[in-house]
Structure 1
């Protein structure tokens, strides 16, 4: 099979198109022919080596976390899928590799594709959908009537988060550029702040939850808009000790992550608010809870651009610019 390979960590590294043997599924795995793959900033961060302490991948590495495709065959212990099923998934850490023609993936990471989505639309969902679900539903336990600030409302995470938060009954505030203000309002945001004109810290007050996806300066300002007892969940760092424990990090990594997050945790404690870091996990079960919301039209995928498989490096470079309106997808088949 054809696959795009990373030979070494480097910010400016290009992926190399190569040939690999078709994967052989294990007893609890499903072999999927990939039709489309989502492209995420996480792929770029792994490529540059930003996560090598917590995700030490051997090289060469096939990048790619999101997929939509068709089941080719299943392992003997697989019960939920059969050949010919259309599926989608976020591949588990240490078992990624969706910038390829096929992948062997654990049954528990997989879900049947929403019937009303194309392969390209379905491939745009898993990583951002699971990130938002785990942040707002699992961690924040967001409730009707609460107020949530979702940064970067026109990005992949932002577009999904606005829709899910509105479904949960929350009041949603977000930031975006001038050109996207009306569009983000149509997604459901109640308060839209044009970051080119205004500072959200001067406008927002007494929020219950912040979903942080930006830099340290934005995080610090976001802590100050929370009401006492509110919580900030960050998907862009810094990682905290709870995360280090969760992944079973070695002692020296635990110490590094504790030090990296100490300033943020101290500021949060001083303000009487909570801080936690989220590094989302693959979950077919949670995707199966998201699927009915998509099929009912509660959440609509937002795809900015679809690149052909031959332009995988260009797709990654486009994501790295940070200007995508929604998700970027590679069409493989």
Structure 2
């Protein structure tokens, strides 16, 4: 089968298109998926560049990609939830940049009818991360005020929709075309962070969901009410600032499983959640796709497709 692979850490130049054997099912609870589309996520580049090797080392040569959509072509002896022919979305953790990949059935869901494979591959990480930040850790409730830093990005856009569906008052930051996108997703207010000072506009926020990190994260402390929370998926927040502003602040490691994805799937079925695919690339153009995402300013998800 065709697969994207690299043999050492580095820039996108290390990426190669190779021919390797189709993986076999090693666990009785695994399924084998003929991959039709793959989500491209920032962690893909962090792993490739070696930035994660202390906490998430990989064995070389390595096939990247943790998020896929496709068709089940084989099931392990212990699989009870799926059958051959099912169209699914899955968290594979690795090896998804390929024509075939395996996944544990606990991290697989039936693809909602009406969604393309590209749309299906765009939602697993987004929904699972949003659920983890907003509800599992953030305990967001109806009527509360949430600020989403990066509300037009892949994860941020999902957060806007899921927070709004839960009855929260949603403030999003965005720029350029992202301002209109965040509004279309349901944000009550959208702050253009390139033109406006977030800390001078948003006040008394219950929860800040930070998807961007960097120096901008520091100002987010100022918008929180005492006792509020700043949760980041980008970088650990300052505990000194958390103490200074009398808030809780920490880095969130997302729990992405079929269970955490179900609420998002229900919203899709109810017509209350839109998947946003920013741009698609062929599998063999994975290096170009990663560089496109790394360049920034992407509204929505970057997806690889396999003919």
**Mapped pair 1:161 → 2:159:** yes
Return 5+ residue gaps in structure 2 as ranges: none
Instruction: Tell me the distance in 1 between the aligned counterparts of 2:224 and 2:52.
Output: 29
**Mapped pair 1:285 → 2:255:** no
Aligned to 2:198: 200
> In structure 2, the residue corresponding to 1:17 is in which secondary structure?
strand
Q: Cα offset for 1:12?
A: 4.4
Which of residues 266, 278, 300 is equivalent to 1:304?
Answer: 278
TM-score by length of 1: 0.89
> In structure 2, the residue corresponding to 1:62 is in which secondary structure?
coil
Aligned to 2:128: 130
Instruction: Tell me the distance in 1 between the aligned counterparts of 2:255 and 2:245.
Output: 29
Aligned to 2:85: 84
Aligned to 1:183: 181
> In structure 2, the residue corresponding to 1:81 is in which secondary structure?
coil
Aligned to 2:7: 7
Instruction: Tell me the distance in 1 between the aligned counterparts of 2:262 and 2:184.
Output: 26
Contact 1:91 / 1:282 at 8 angstroms: preserved in 2? no
The CA deviation string for residues 142-173 of structure 1, in whole angstroms up to 9 with x for no partner, is 11110111011111011111110100111111
**Mapped pair 1:224 → 2:225:** no
> In structure 1, the residue corresponding to 2:264 is in which secondary structure?
helix
Instruction: Tell me the distance in 2 between the aligned counterparts of 1:331 and 1:312.
Output: 10
Aligned to 1:72: 73
Contact 1:13 / 1:47 at 8 angstroms: preserved in 2? no
1:214-253 alignment runs, 5 A limit: 214-238=212-236
Aligned to 1:268: 242
Aligned to 1:110: 108
Contact 1:114 / 1:292 at 8 angstroms: preserved in 2? no
The CA deviation string for residues 223-272 of structure 1, in whole angstroms up to 9 with x for no partner, is 1211111001100012xxxxxxxxxxxxxxxxxxxxxx6xx112202211
Aligned to 2:62: 61
The CA deviation string for residues 97-141 of structure 1, in whole angstroms up to 9 with x for no partner, is 110001111111111111121101000000111101111111111
> In structure 2, the residue corresponding to 1:201 is in which secondary structure?
helix
TM-score by length of 2: 0.96
Count of matched residue positions in the alignment of Structure 1 and Structure 2: 306
Aligned to 1:20: 20
Which of residues 142, 145, 148 is equivalent to 1:147?
Answer: 145
Runs of 4+ deviating beyond 6 Å = none
Closer/same/farther in 2, CA of residues 289 and 190 from structure 1, 3 Å limit: closer
Aligned to 2:48: 47
RMSD across aligned positions (CA): 1.3
The CA deviation string for residues 177-212 of structure 1, in whole angstroms up to 9 with x for no partner, is 133322321111111111221110111111000111
Instruction: Tell me the distance in 2 between the aligned counterparts of 1:149 and 1:276.
Output: 16
Instruction: Tell me the distance in 2 between the aligned counterparts of 1:289 and 1:170.
Output: 16
Comparing 300-309 and 9-18, the one that deviates more: 9-18
Contact 1:28 / 1:78 at 8 angstroms: preserved in 2? yes
Instruction: Tell me the distance in 2 between the aligned counterparts of 1:110 and 1:183.
Output: 29
Comparing 6-15 and 97-106, the one that deviates more: 6-15
Return 5+ residue gaps in structure 1 as ranges: 239-260
Contact 1:112 / 1:288 at 8 angstroms: preserved in 2? no
**Mapped pair 1:324 → 2:298:** yes
